Amino acid sequence: MTKADKIKQSLKLTKEKRKLQTPKVFQLKLQNLSKSDIKTLERLFLEAKWFYNYLIADIDSRLNKLSEKLKVVEIKTLNGFEKRELKLLGSQVKQDIIERIKNSLKTLKKLKGQGHKVGKLQFKSDFKSIPLKQFGITYKIDFKRNRVKVQGIKKWFRVLGLHQIPKNSEIANAFLVKKPSGFYLYVVCYLWKEEVLREIKQKQTSIPVGIDLGIKYQLTLTTGERFKWYIPETKRLKRLQKILARKRKGSKNYQKVKKLIQKEWEYIKNKRKDIQNKVISYLKKFPFIAVQRDDIKGWHKGLFGKEIQNTGIGGITARLKYLATLIPVEFVPKYEATTKTCCRCGFKQKVELNERTYRCSKCGLEIDRDLNGAWNILKIGLKQLAKKNKALADRLKSALPVDCGKVTPVEWGYSPR
Per DSSP, the three-state class of 412 is coil
Query: What is the arithmetic mean of pLDDT over 50-55?
Result: 94
* Closest to 334 (Cα-Cα) out of 292, 369, 377, 381: 292
pLDDT at position 401 is 66
Residue range 186-244, pLDDT digits in tens? 999 999 989 888 888 888 888 999 999 988 889 999 988 999 999 999 999 999 999 99
**Global pTM value:** 0.86
In DSSP terms, which residues pair with 220 in a beta bridge? Answer: 212, 226
Q: Check: CB of residue 307 under 8 Å from CB of residue 229.
A: no
CA distances (Å), origin 390, targets 96, 321, 383, 385, 393 = 44, 22, 9, 7, 5
- CA dist 408 and 415 (Å) reads 12
Of 141-155, 266-280, 383-397, the least confident: 383-397
Integer distance in angstroms from the first to the last C-alpha of the chain? 65
Query: Is pLDDT above 60 for 156?
Result: yes
Exposed (0-12), middle (13-18) or buried (19+): which is 285, by Cβ within 10 Å? middle
Q: Phi and psi at residue 370, in whole multiples of 5°?
A: -70, -40
* Closest to 266 (Cα-Cα) out of 242, 299, 318, 231: 231
How many Cβ atoms sit within 10 Å of the Cβ of residue 35?
A: 7
Which pLDDT band, with edges at 50, 70 and 90, does 277 fall under? very high
Query: Is pLDDT above 70 for 416?
Result: no
How many Cβ atoms sit within 10 Å of the Cβ of residue 39?
A: 11
- CA dist 412 and 397 (Å) reads 9
In DSSP terms, which residues pair with 293 in a beta bridge? Answer: none
- CA dist 69 and 71 (Å) reads 6
Query: Between the ranges 272-286, 302-316, 383-397, where is the mean pLDDT highest?
Result: 272-286
CA distances (Å), origin 74, targets 59, 67, 77, 81, 97 = 14, 13, 10, 6, 17
Three-state SS string over 256-302 comes to HHHHHHHHHHHHHHHHHHHHHHHHHHHHCCCCCEEEECCCHHHHHHC
- CA dist 262 and 190 (Å) reads 32
Query: Is pLDDT above 60 for 162?
Result: yes
Kindly write down the DSSP assignment for every residue of 339-364, as one continuous string.
Answer: TTB-TTT--B----TT--EEE-TTT-
How many Cβ atoms sit within 10 Å of the Cβ of residue 325?
A: 11
Residue range 303-351, pLDDT digits in tens? 778 888 888 888 888 889 888 888 999 999 888 888 888 888 888 888 8
Query: Between the ranges 124-133, 295-304, 348-357, where is the mean pLDDT highest?
Result: 124-133
- CA dist 92 and 134 (Å) reads 8
Which pLDDT band, with edges at 50, 70 and 90, does 405 fall under? very low
Q: Check: CB of residue 384 under 8 Å from CB of residue 368.
A: no
Pairing of strands 72-77, 329-332: unpaired
- CA dist 417 and 415 (Å) reads 7
Q: What's CA 254's distance to the chain center, in Å?
A: 31
pLDDT at position 251 is 92
Per DSSP, the three-state class of 213 is strand
CA distances (Å), origin 349, targets 346, 357, 359, 409 = 10, 13, 9, 24
pLDDT at position 282 is 93
Q: What is the percent of the chain with per-residue pLDDT over 90, rounded to a whole number?
A: 52
106, 108, 109, 115 alpha-carbon torsion, rounded to 10°? 150
